[in-house]
């Protein structure tokens, strides 16, 4: 699986992205609520570690438009609870395959800043939200059903990958 950065507008889009990430282990079927996954962003936001923090909480709180950590934590819990009954628990290609997510103005700005690199990228609209994405075929090799689980049937024999010298 490959990884890439996604530019997220710092408004409700960032809130939705945080919750979407919190639901990774829920989507994977490991837990039924983000609170049950000890190593999640949800835990770091709700139970701030004294040492070894991964998330810059003061920065995140400010980016999300809050002045107090407690207000942000309360809103975050509400977003997660709302997502349990909404659409954020489902996989959404905007978060996993987009180059930018936000308002049309934000996405167009990012596309403009990318210049030539954005020539074949498309702006898509869904439910009043916009995403700058690669054409679908750019990801099709990674997300076919046969690639979803790692198992013997989905793993090519070692001999086909590397020439094994005969003894």
Residue 132 lies in a domain: yes
Residue 51 lies in a domain: yes
Q: Band the pLDDT of 156: cuts 50, 70, 90.
A: very low
Judge if pTM exceeds 0.75.
Answer: no
Cβ(89)–Cβ(23) below 8 Å: yes
Residue 65 lies in a domain: yes
Q: How many CB atoms lie within 10 A of CB 76?
A: 22
For the chain, how many structural domains are there in total?
1
Residue 155 lies in a domain: no
Cβ(85)–Cβ(33) below 8 Å: no
Residue 164 has a pLDDT of 46
The residues near 97 (Cβ < 8 Å, ≥ 6 apart) are 133, 134, 139
**Which residue shows structure tokens 């690199």?**
117
Distance of CA 149 to the CA centre of its chain: 19
CA atoms within 13 A on the CB side of 100: 21
Residue 119 lies in a domain: yes
Q: Band the pLDDT of 110: cuts 50, 70, 90.
A: very high
Burial of 114 per CB tally in 10 Å (0-12, 13-18, 19+): middle
- Give the pLDDT confidence of 2-60 residue by residue, as tens digits: 567 888 998 888 998 899 999 988 888 899 899 999 888 998 999 888 788 888 999 99
Least confident stretch, 48-62, 70-84, 109-123, 146-160? 146-160
Top-confidence residue, 14 or 146: 14
Strand partners, 124: 131
- Give the pLDDT confidence of 74-106 residue by residue, as tens digits: 999 999 999 888 766 677 777 778 889 999 999
Residue 158 lies in a domain: no
Residue 133 lies in a domain: yes
Distance CA 41, CA 52 (A): 13
Residue 39 lies in a domain: yes
Domain range for 122 is 7-140
């Amino acid at each position: 699986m490959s990884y890439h950065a996604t530019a997220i507008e710092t408004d409700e889009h960032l809130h939705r992205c945080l919750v979407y990430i919190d639901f990774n282990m829920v989507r994977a079927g490991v837990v039924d609520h983000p609170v049950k996954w000890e190593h999640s962003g949800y835990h770091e936001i709700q139970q701030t570690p004294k040492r070894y923090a991964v998330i810059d909480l003061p920065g995140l709180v400010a980016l999300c438009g809050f002045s107090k950590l407690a207000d942000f934590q309360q809103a975050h819990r509400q977003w997660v609870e709302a997502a349990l009954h909404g659409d954020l628990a489902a996989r959404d290609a905007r978060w996993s395959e987009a180059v930018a997510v936000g308002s049309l103005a934000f996405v167009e700005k990012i596309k403009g800043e990318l210049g030539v690199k954005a020539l074949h990228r498309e702006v898509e609209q869904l439910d009043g939200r916009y995403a700058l994405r690669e054409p679908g075929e750019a990801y099709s090799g990674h997300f076919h059903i046969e690639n979803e689980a790692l198992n013997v049937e989905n793993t090519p024999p070692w001999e086909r990958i590397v020439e094994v010298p005969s003894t």
